[in-house]
Amino acid sequence: MKHLLTLEWMKVRRYRTFWVLFTLFMISMFGISFMWWYFNHQLSQGDMGAKMVSSMIFGSFNFPGVFNTITQISSWLLYFPGFVIIFHTTNEFTFKTHRQNIIDGLERADFIKAKLGFAFILAILCTLIVFLSSLFFGIISGGGSITLEGLSYIGYFFVQSCIYILFALLLALLLRRAALAVGIYFIYGILFDFLLALWISKGTDSTLGFYLMPLQVSDQLIPNVITEKTVSLMGSYKTNIALIISVAWIAFYCWFPVRKFSNEDL
């Protein structure tokens, strides 16, 4: 795997689009947390009503609640590492370097494993920045203590990142065109995954759809800081089941591309 990741590093280190998008994304991850914290801070300085609105909408910035708050709002930006991996992967098809890599002696499966490794590294980096942001805002808010339950949100965020990024990778490998993959990824992510989940749930008169659809099930791992305090739309979720199904989706996203790429004409 080290050799494969070295190859991926050689491919991206001179790819300016990657670095621009990646840097903007990393700044945005911290920026959105800062914005959330700032509005919360301003409201919490106000009268009693403002303080109530602040706690209902913005969630807690004290430990351990800050881990829930930061991971939840940061998850809104998880489309961007998806875009990064789509551009990185569809480049291979645009330049036909996926063929050249195989011709030069790379195993077909290794080509995909390299992309999967790259996707997991992106997920780890996203998780790391979220963890550091949580620590930062927890410390400056100055309250509570770091608990295992609080840290579990960091783990859930990693799972959620993996699903978003690997789903984008799957689309890139299937569609092979950047614009098409980005368009379908974004529209499916913000709308159709939810609609399909709702349709299945309505049809079965249960919350089944929200356990089955990949982005929905990973979204449910981290409670929404707004709806949790106001109204629960979907009923109570069994996090362990959601976690198992999320991991199953990750396993599928790793297995299917390797199988497909190993058997088809390139």
Give me the half-sphere count of Cα atoms (radius 13 Å) on the Cβ side of residue 66: 25
Q: Which is nearer to other proteins, 92 or 193 (CB)?
A: 92
Q: Which is nearer to other proteins, 16 or 205 (CB)?
A: 16
Q: Residue 59: which residues within 8 A CB-CB, separation 6 or more?
A: 40, 65, 68, 69, 72, 225, 226, 229
Q: Which is nearer to other proteins, 205 or 264 (CB)?
A: 264
| CA geometry: angle 45, 47, 53, nearest 5 deg | 85
State how far the Cα of 194 lies from the Cα of 199, in Å rounded to an integer: 9
Task: Return the residues of window 84-123 that contact other proteins according to CB under 8 A.
Answer: 91, 95-97, 99-108, 110
Identity at 54, one-letter amino acid code = S
Task: Return the residues of window 11-70 that contact other proteins according to CB under 8 A.
Answer: 11, 14-17
Closest CA to 84 of 4, 2, 164: 164
Cβ at position 20, least distance to other proteins in Å: 12
Cβ at position 99, least distance to other proteins in Å: 5
State how far the Cα of 68 lies from the Cα of 119, in Å rounded to an integer: 23
Q: Given candidates 5, 7, 125, 212, which one binds other proteins under the rule CB under 8 A? A: 7
Cβ at position 92, least distance to other proteins in Å: 9
Q: Which is nearer to other proteins, 115 or 197 (CB)?
A: 115
Binding site for other proteins (CB under 8 A): 3, 6-7, 10-11, 14-17, 91, 95-97, 99-108, 110, 263-266
